[in-house]
Structure 1
């Protein structure tokens, strides 16, 4: 473990924390760009694998941050990266929440609230796109993802059997 690695993790994830409108999944494209293409901490495939594991594992949705930190600098890297990702955004949320409650009836409050929803959705869709690109999906994989998305959106089917079936098809190499 190098001090420079810990500083790099703290600096990057601290900055990313402030930009994470809609949660940490909204900054996955930037996380991938930095970790894979700039710093070469991970390969694209390794990043997609870590993202999948972090989403399947119990715990915070930003578990990928700790996993990247661990790959870079072990347990200390995981702790520093996670603290840097959660600290600045948490403090900003506390400050903004105080103002937000006092101004709930103002026109700018309503306008900002309506604007942030589509921004967060766009950022999260971009995250899905980056993860899918790095996962090396085939055309069948994209079709399966689209079909699953439609099923989850338009039906009240339990997603667990659908996800299990998709996982099995991926494991067997069908998609």
Structure 2
């Protein structure tokens, strides 16, 4: 991480996080943009993303806070601070333009626009998830645990229970 720290331009780093958050809809929707930009610059690894997402899932609070962990893993305390500021500014901007939105929110084209954007985010997110999974070197047993976790999540089982069961399965299978 030390070599990476010397390569990072703080302003560009901040702008990448700000852009990703500004053009996302919350949670993990900024993942594709950050994944592409940080990997392209050599400022993050797949492991940084995996660890950040895991920490974001087990931490209390909104899912979007995983970005702060990513900032820390890629650029230390300054990265965490820059990521925090970058994910805080877009919601403040939304509050500032909310008055204008109330004038157009009932327009038919607005709901169509939002639906199209949401579907594009889902497609891009699935592409990034597939790329992360493809490079993780999983064997068939790992896929089985992941499939079981997915099925439990689809049945709305509490995430803590899913993580506990996955940890137990991993321990029993790989010990």
Match among 3, 22, 25 for residue 28 of structure 2: 25
| 2:117 matched residue in structure 1 | 116
Deviation at 1:58, TM superposition (A): 1.9
Q: Return the TM-score normalized by structure 1.
A: 0.75
| 2:40 matched residue in structure 1 | 38
Question: Does residue 149 of structure 2 align to residue 145 of structure 1?
Answer: no
| 2:163 matched residue in structure 1 | 163
| 1:10 matched residue in structure 2 | 14
Gaps of 5+ in 1: none
Which whole-Å CA distance do the structure 2 matches of 1:156 and 1:50 have between them? 23
Q: Return the TM-score normalized by structure 2.
A: 0.75
| Higher RCO (CA 8 Å, separation ≥ 6 residues) | 1
| 2:55 matched residue in structure 1 | 53
Q: Aligned in 2, Cα 1:127/1:59: closer, same or farther, shift over 3 Å?
A: farther
RMSD (CA atoms): 3.0
Deviation at 1:4, TM superposition (A): 5.7
